[in-house]
């Protein structure tokens, strides 16, 4: 309401200064409020607007398009600001969506024409690429690897920050708590390349600290963990937890900071033990956040990050490490089978979407929490 | 407050302290270890003698790094990419978030829905690759910055911040004759520096740490960012390309090990040095974001 009035002022300042004397507009209302005078009721504000309309009767007759044109004219600077962002989203987000057509075509790159013509003029292939993919021996291996890696990551990686946040919430010494928090966030800001690099060097069979320690303490023979397909999932999940434990806990700590301390105090008076307080106060306080975070993580079930797997795997570990996203990268971009790569990617995206919708539905039925 | 002295409470205390100690050690030890190694003698590195303190203090690693042309160059490239990318990000994000934060903007919900949709659907890797190449960005820093100009999630954080900006200040500026553009530049931006900087830091860290974009779009060696060089040296051991083809003997192998650790340290050093100062901004940024989510 105020916004509308002040908008009129912004539109034509000179007119407004005249109007300022003639009728109560936003400024007058505000002044009156500050003087501590009578509050302006909702009905009265609406009156003001109607007064304006009667002052300028021609506006009632300009119709829908006229009003729209006026709206645009009034907000021209805001709309102008939005132009670069709009262009960005159209070009870099929506044009690639148009490129999904490539999955149904036999894409041939013609260097003389641009992207739009290239996609448009390639000949149709129907579902050929999808069928090739589903029938290939790689299909089940890739699907299994992707789902297993993702499921392991969720089973072990998802509860870790929650547990950490709950335990950290039990630390009463503030300085100690702050130090731990600061330190635990750090790995999140180190690049994946550096994290995997460190892991690989720590595990190096010749000079790596972990092999040395295991050898010195338990006499275990040095082993090249990175070249062993059986170890890939363990390394992937462990390094993920290492990197994201502290940072992931922030959102839960934020939820816990909103819990009223009196809840704990009255629980103590009622004789609740600390473990019982965790069970009956802390966990229920986290429930909504946990469900939402779980839904979000499920929505990317088939999105095992290409960036990290690409750094960790090698042909020796393809058996367990090759996932859909790395396969898309290798076939689609390295081997330049653009159409095939896009088809695999589309398959991946559709399955992800189905999982998200399903999980959201289940969650709404079971916990009455949902993303939409 | 009454202290709970039951067994379960003591067990909880033990579990808490053990967990915290483990998290502290496991997080910090790898960093200390890697930094110590990078300052140790090449022979001790290969023999695996170094644990948490440099043995036979030695600067071979860093001499190798600075005598090599590609590593300092790639460091510089990363700095340029981070600066250029963050500048583009901030300009675009602020310009997009500000108008969208005004509920009076015509077509606001259309724009908002159109932008939000991209968080759930996207064209994917291959079409985007084809597009960026056909725009003539291949093998240039533009390919690493322009296609990532707006992170929708950060844009939403910025938007909800602008939304809470006191209306009265903007309106009085308008009465004094500012248009929306001037209000943004002269009033809103200077007063929102803290949160704008927070988002800027997030963007900067992303650019500094990213390697995948460069892997896709950068072809020539002298344009490699640091993370890509790090990947070559540490993960693929392609050191021969970088050292002037001397035969592989014990000395070269020892040197290549120091080179690995040194490069790793160089790549994480800016973060390690800046982190204590900027950490609170990151946490604040996440808090702003989590309020909405």
Contacts of B166 in chain A (CB under 8 A): none
**B206 pLDDT exceeds 90?**
yes
Could you tell me if B89 lies within 8 Å of chain A, comparing CB atoms?
no
Tokens 């003539």 map to which residue?
B136
Model confidence band, residue B258 (pLDDT cutoffs 50, 70, 90) = confident
Contacts of A88 in chain B (CB under 8 A): 92, 96, 149-150
pLDDT value at residue A43 = 52
Could you tell me if B281 lies within 8 Å of chain A, comparing CB atoms?
no
**Cβ within 8 Å of B, A 181-240:** 182-187, 189-194, 196-198, 200-202, 206-209, 212
Q: Taking CA atoms, what residue in A is nearest to B148?
A: A92
- CATH (residue range B69-285): 1.10.3720.10
Q: Say yes or no for a CB contact (<8 Å) between A190 and B122.
A: no
A11, A30, A88: best to mutate for the B interface, most B CBs within 10 A: A88
Work out the end-to-end distance of chain B between its first and last CA atoms, rounded to an integer number of angstroms: 35
pLDDT value at residue A53 = 46
Residue B146 CA, chain-centre distance (Å), reads 16
pLDDT value at residue B243 = 53
pLDDT value at residue A8 = 46
Q: Say yes or no for a CB contact (<8 Å) between A164 and B92.
A: no
Q: Say yes or no for a CB contact (<8 Å) between B20 and A242.
A: no
Nearest to A75 among B106, B134, B155 (CB): B106
pLDDT value at residue A72 = 86
**Residues A321, A312: Cα–Cα separation, whole Å:** 8
DSSP state of B127: H
pLDDT value at residue A40 = 53
Question: A367 or B31, which is more confident?
Answer: B31
Structure tokens belonging to residue B137: 């960005």
Cβ neighbors of A88 (< 8 A, separation 6 or more) are: B92, B96, B149, B150
Nearest to A85 among B96, B177, B216 (CB): B96
Q: Say yes or no for a CB contact (<8 Å) between B235 and A341.
A: no
**Residues B17, B23: Cα–Cα separation, whole Å:** 10
Q: How far are the Cα atoms of A151, A152, A302, B128, B277 from residue A144, in angstroms, in the given order?
A: 10, 12, 10, 27, 44
**Residues A342, A96: Cα–Cα separation, whole Å:** 11
Q: Say yes or no for a CB contact (<8 Å) between A80 and B181.
A: yes
Q: What is the H or E stretch that residue A124 is in?
A: strand A123-124
Q: Say yes or no for a CB contact (<8 Å) between A168 and B118.
A: no
What is the model's pTM? 0.83
Q: Taking CA atoms, what residue in B is nearest to A1?
A: B104
Q: Taking CA atoms, what residue in A is nearest to B173?
A: A10
Contacts of A290 in chain B (CB under 8 A): none
Total residue length of chain A:
372
pLDDT value at residue B60 = 81
Q: Say yes or no for a CB contact (<8 Å) between A82 and B282.
A: no
Nearest to A167 among B19, B125, B275 (CB): B19
Q: Tens of pLDDT along B7-30? A: 888 888 899 999 999 999 999 999
Question: A108 or B1, which is more confident?
Answer: A108
Q: Hey, which of A115-124, A350-359, B58-67, B206-215 has the most confident mean pLDDT?
A: B206-215
Cβ neighbors of A158 (< 8 A, separation 6 or more) are: A293, A294, A297
**Residues B187, B176: Cα–Cα separation, whole Å:** 12
Q: Taking CA atoms, what residue in B is nearest to A83?
A: B96
Tell me if A129 sits within 8 A of A109, measured CB to CB. no
Query: Could you read off the pLDDT tens digit of each residue along chain A, which spans 372 residues?
Result: 343 444 444 444 434 443 444 445 565 556 556 666 555 555 555 445 544 444 444 555 667 888 888 888 888 899 999 999 999 999 999 999 999 999 999 988 888 888 888 888 888 988 999 999 999 988 999 999 999 999 999 999 999 999 999 999 988 888 999 999 989 999 999 999 999 999 998 888 877 888 888 888 888 888 888 888 899 999 999 999 999 999 999 889 988 888 888 888 888 888 888 888 888 999 999 998 898 888 888 877 777 778 899 999 888 888 888 999 999 999 999 999 999 999 999 999 888 888 888 888 888 888 877 777
A161, A191, A213, A247: best to mutate for the B interface, most B CBs within 10 A: A191
DSSP state of A300: T
Contacts of A202 in chain B (CB under 8 A): 30, 33
Q: Say yes or no for a CB contact (<8 Å) between A176 and B20.
A: yes
DSSP state of A316: G
**Residues B65, B263: Cα–Cα separation, whole Å:** 7
pLDDT value at residue B239 = 64
Mean pLDDT of B34-52: 82
Could you tell me if B2 lies within 8 Å of chain A, comparing CB atoms?
yes
A8, A20, A67, A78: best to mutate for the B interface, most B CBs within 10 A: A78
Domain boundaries, chain B: 1-62, 69-285
Tell me if A349 sits within 8 A of B121, measured CB to CB. yes
Model confidence band, residue B234 (pLDDT cutoffs 50, 70, 90) = confident
Nearest to B2 among A30, A246, A268 (CB): A268
Give percent above pLDDT 70 in chain B: 91
Contacts of A170 in chain B (CB under 8 A): 12-13, 16
Nearest to A3 among B23, B104, B121 (CB): B104
Q: Say yes or no for a CB contact (<8 Å) between A183 and B27.
A: yes
Q: Tens of pLDDT along B95-150? A: 999 999 998 888 999 999 999 988 878 888 999 999 999 999 999 999 999 999 99
Give percent above pLDDT 90 in chain B: 39
Q: Say yes or no for a CB contact (<8 Å) between B16 and A95.
A: no
Beta-carbon pairs below 8 A across chains A and B: 290
Q: Where are the alpha helices (DSSP H) in A158-260?
A: 159-170, 174-185, 192-202, 209-218, 232-257
Rg (CA), chain B: 25
Structure tokens belonging to residue A124: 């149709």
Could you tell me if A99 lies within 8 Å of chain B, comparing CB atoms?
yes
Structure tokens belonging to residue A209: 């600290």
Q: Taking CA atoms, what residue in B is nearest to A288?
A: B293
Nearest to B98 among A26, A81, A306 (CB): A81
Model confidence band, residue B42 (pLDDT cutoffs 50, 70, 90) = confident
Question: B241 or A67, which is more confident?
Answer: A67
Could you tell me if B95 lies within 8 Å of chain A, comparing CB atoms?
yes
Q: Is residue A106 classed as helix, strand or coil in its secondary structure?
A: strand
**B286 pLDDT exceeds 80?**
no
């Amino acid at each position: 309401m105020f916004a509308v009035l002040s908008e009129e002022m912004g539109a034509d300042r000179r007119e407004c200064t005249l109007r300022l004397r003639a009728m109560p507009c936003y400024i007058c209302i505000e002044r009156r409020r500050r003087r501590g005078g009578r509050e302006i009721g909702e009905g009265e504000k609406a009156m003001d607007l109607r007064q304006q309309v009667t002052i300028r009767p021609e506006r009632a007759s300009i119709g829908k398009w006229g009003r729209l044109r006026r709206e645009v004219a009034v907000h021209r600077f805001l709309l102008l600001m939005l132009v670069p962002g709009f262009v960005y989203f159209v070009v870099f987000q929506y044009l690639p969506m148009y490129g999904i057509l490539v999955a149904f075509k036999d894409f041939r790159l013609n260097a003389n024409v641009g992207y739009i013509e290239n996609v448009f003029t390639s000949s149709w292939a129907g579902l050929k690429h999808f069928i090739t993919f589903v029938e290939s021996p790689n299909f089940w291996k890739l699907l299994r690897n992707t789902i297993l890696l993702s499921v392991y990551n969720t089973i072990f990686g998802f509860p870790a920050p929650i547990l950490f946040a709950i335990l950290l919430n039990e630390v009463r010494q503030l300085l100690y708590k702050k130090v731990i928090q600061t330190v635990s966030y750090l790995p999140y800001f180190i690049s994946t390349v550096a994290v995997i690099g460190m892991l690989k060097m720590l595990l190096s069979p010749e000079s790596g600290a972990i092999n040395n320690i295991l050898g010195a303490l338990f006499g275990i023979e040095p082993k090249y963990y990175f070249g062993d397909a059986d170890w890939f999932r363990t390394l992937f999940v462990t390094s993920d937890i290492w990197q994201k434990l502290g940072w992931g806990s922030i959102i839960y700590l934020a939820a816990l900071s909103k819990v009223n301390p009196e809840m704990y105090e009255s629980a103590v008076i009622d004789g609740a033990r600390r473990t019982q307080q965790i069970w009956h106060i802390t966990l229920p306080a986290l429930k909504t956040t946990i469900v939402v975070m779980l839904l979000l993580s499920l929505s990317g079930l088939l999105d095992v990050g290409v960036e990290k797997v690409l750094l960790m795997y090698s042909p020796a570990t393809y058996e367990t490490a090759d996932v859909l996203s790395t396969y898309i990268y290798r076939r689609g971009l390295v081997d330049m089978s653009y159409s095939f790569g896009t088809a695999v990617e589309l398959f991946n995206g559709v399955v992800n979407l189905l999982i998200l919708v399903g999980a959201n539905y289940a969650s709404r039925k079971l916990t009455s929490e949902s993303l939409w | 407050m009454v202290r709970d002295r039951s067994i379960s409470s003591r067990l909880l205390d033990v579990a808490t302290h053990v967990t915290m100690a483990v998290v502290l050690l496991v997080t910090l030890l790898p960093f200390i270890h890697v930094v110590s190694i990078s300052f140790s003698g090449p022979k001790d590195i290969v023999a695996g003698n170094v644990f948490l303190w440099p043995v036979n203090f030695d600067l071979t690693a860093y001499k190798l790094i600075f005598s090599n042309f590609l590593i300092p160059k790639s460091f510089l490239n990363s700095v340029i990419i981070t600066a250029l990318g963050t500048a583009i990000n901030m300009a675009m994000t602020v310009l997009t978030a500000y108008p969208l934060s005004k509920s009076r903007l015509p077509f606001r919900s259309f724009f908002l829905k159109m932008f939000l949709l991209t968080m759930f659907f996207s064209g994917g890797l291959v079409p985007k690759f084809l597009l960026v190449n056909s725009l003539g960005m291949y093998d240039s820093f533009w390919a690493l910055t322009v296609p990532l100009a707006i992170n929708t999630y950060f844009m939403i954080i910025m938007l909800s911040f602008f939304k809470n900006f006191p209306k009265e200040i903007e309106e009085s500026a308008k009465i004094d004759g500012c248009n929306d553009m001037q209000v943004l530049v002269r009033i809103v931006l200077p007063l929102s520096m803290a949160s704008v900087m927070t988002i800027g830091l997030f963007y900067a860290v992303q650019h500094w740490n990213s390697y995948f974009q460069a892997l896709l779009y950068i072809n020539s060696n002298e344009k490699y960012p640091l993370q890509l060089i790090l990947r070559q040296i540490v993960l693929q051991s392609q050191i021969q390309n970088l050292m002037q083809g001397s035969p592989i003997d014990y000395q070269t192998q020892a040197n290549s090990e120091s080179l690995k650790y040194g490069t790793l340290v160089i790549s994480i050093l800016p973060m390690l040095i800046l982190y204590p100062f900027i950490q609170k901004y990151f946490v604040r940024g996440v808090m702003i974001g989590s309020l909405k989510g």
